[in-house]
Amino acid sequence: MSEQRRLDVLRAIVQDYVATSEPVGSKALLDRHQLGVSAATIRNDMAALEEEGLISAPHTSAGRVPTDAGYRRFVDQLGHMKPLSRSERVAIETFLQQAVDLDDIVDRTVRLLSSLTHQVAVMQYPSIGTATVRHIELVSLADTKVMVVLIMSTGRVEQRVLTIAHTADQLLSLRDVVNQAAEGRTRAHAADRLDAWAEQRRAGAKPDSHPDDSTPTSVGVIRDFLAEEREERVVMAGTSHLVRSGQDFPETIGPVLDALEEHVVLLRLLQQMEGDDVYVRIGGENAIDGFRTASIVSAPYTAGGIGVLGPTRMDYLTTIAAVRAVARYVSEILEQ
């Protein structure tokens, strides 16, 4: 029995079932695909695929549907990359480049990905832990009030009014100190460097190239701001697509919807990727119980993860291509 022919039959079954949601029989395969063999041969191939656990009969009809293992074999061995058309690539790039700020980039990304794949799209907000400080600006509001403007490498901008006694010259010196310590470093690393600077000053040692008029107290206030814990966020769009696919879940869609409500769960989902390319988890491969009847296609971008979630009866080729392309464009925009 030809292994390649059997895989061709599996590919045809996956493609037809994804397109029609109906179990696929040998006659339908003969009618729709140029397999070059008899109906009896196809039935034998289908029997072998069923014995391997790659397809199964949902009921007593002659049709078969892919199992989780069958989808996995399709993705790993048969799912040749389906490239996006030039018009699709241009549309993605144009839509994302029209964003006015970081929040708009994230919102546009999940809406775009959901629209392209007809699935639920999820995106980890640019990670605070891995982002680096681009610049810190200090703006005097009063003799003892300073607005600190923190600009991160992801484009995220934070503002905070802090109590810092200062003169104009002292504020300029303080800005030089904090930027020398922070620029190009994560918030945590920058906070550690400011700690070390303040400790040197308290010990009476003057660090090279640092001005005399910045005090450990002022540096400490900004250090505390940088060291504050920030909650990681996940943004989602397209839940309605999942609800419309409710019939594709074996029992109920409830556990999937419940899991989607838990942002900690979604963060775990996006952080479980392996390597730098698209990562596909199908049905029971998911460690999160609520997603064991779903498939997840995810990819890393500059400062986090992005992906889609839907039923195992998913158009994997289109979804993988869309997730990869959108993740790449988001990375390019954030790095500008």
Walk me through the domains of the chain, giving residue ranges and CATH numbers.
3-78 (1.10.10.10), 86-127+232-335 (3.30.450.40), 133-227 (3.30.390)
Query: 111: helix, coil or strand?
Result: helix
Cut 0.75: pTM above it: no
Do residues 58 and 42 make contact, with C-beta atoms less than 8 angstroms apart? no
pLDDT for 213: 47
Helix (H) or strand (E) holding 195: helix 187-202
> What's the Cα-to-Cα distance from 172 to each of 40, 137, 301, rounded to whole Å?
84, 10, 36
Q: Count of alpha carbons within 13 Å of 24, Cβ hemisphere only?
A: 28
pLDDT for 128: 65
Do residues 152 and 133 make contact, with C-beta atoms less than 8 angstroms apart? yes
pLDDT for 231: 65
* Residue that is written with structure tokens 């390597």 in the block: 275
CA–CA distance, 82 with 317 (Å, rounded to integer): 6
CA–CA distance, 148 with 222 (Å, rounded to integer): 8
Do residues 202 and 217 make contact, with C-beta atoms less than 8 angstroms apart? no
Do residues 174 and 218 make contact, with C-beta atoms less than 8 angstroms apart? yes
Query: Which tokens in the block code for residue 24?
Result: 């696929």
Q: Which residues of the chain have pLDDT under 70?
A: 1, 60-62, 78-81, 127-129, 204-215, 229-231, 246, 251, 272-275, 336
CA–CA distance, 221 with 223 (Å, rounded to integer): 5
Bridge partner residues of 279 (DSSP): 298
Cα–Cα–Cα angle for 75, 268, 258, rounded to 5 degrees: 90
Cα–Cα–Cα angle for 246, 242, 306, rounded to 5 degrees: 145
